[in-house]
Amino acid sequence: MIKTTLSIIGLSLVSTLALAADPLHGTKWKTIDDVTKKPLSVVQFTETSKGVLSAKIVDVLEGTEGEKCTKCKGKFFNKPLQGVQIVSGLKKAGNNSYDGGKITDPKNGKTYSFNARLSEDGKTLNGRGYIGISALGRSQTWVRIY
């Protein structure tokens, strides 16, 4: 009886660890324009049951209030920036890095391949959007909001 109880507790702990959410799940980040260095928006990450991450704009910041995604394609065309999903398909690659994602720039409506790296202290997320190879892209550092 004791062995059975201990086995059940052990299996419960292992399954709980296996289902633990990714460190990005539920977190909010202030996006920073890579040219002007001004904050643009706040995005929030969510994770699917298959471990795939996405992020949408949950707040627009000074200078972008009321703007619409006039150059976005599909369901976000001409919709307010708040609510637009800008990251999709991002997967953990190990060692605080993520790849396989896509990111949409609401300013031009274009979608790029996307990878990211979470800093060791979890306070910044360094992302890179690119076409073809990562060397042909641009980077942004997002700041975690606590």
In a domain, 5, yes or no: no
State pLDDT tens for residues 85-113.
999 999 999 999 999 999 999 888 999 99
Q: What is the pLDDT of residues 24-49, one digit of tens each?
A: 999 999 998 878 888 999 999 999 99
Mean pLDDT of the chain: 85
Q: Would you say residue 97 lies in a domain?
A: yes
Whether the Cβ atoms of residue 40 and residue 32 lie closer than 8 Å to each other? yes
pLDDT at 135: 86
Question: What total number of domains does the chain contain?
Answer: 1
CATH number at 113 reads 2.40.128.520
Q: Is residue 4 part of a domain?
A: no
The whole-angstrom distance between residue 123's C-alpha and the CA centroid of its chain comes to 14
Question: 143 and 29 in contact (C-beta within 8 Å)?
Answer: yes
pLDDT confidence tier of residue 65, bands split at 50, 70 and 90: low
Domain containing 99 equals: 21-145
Which pLDDT belongs to residue 107? Answer: 85
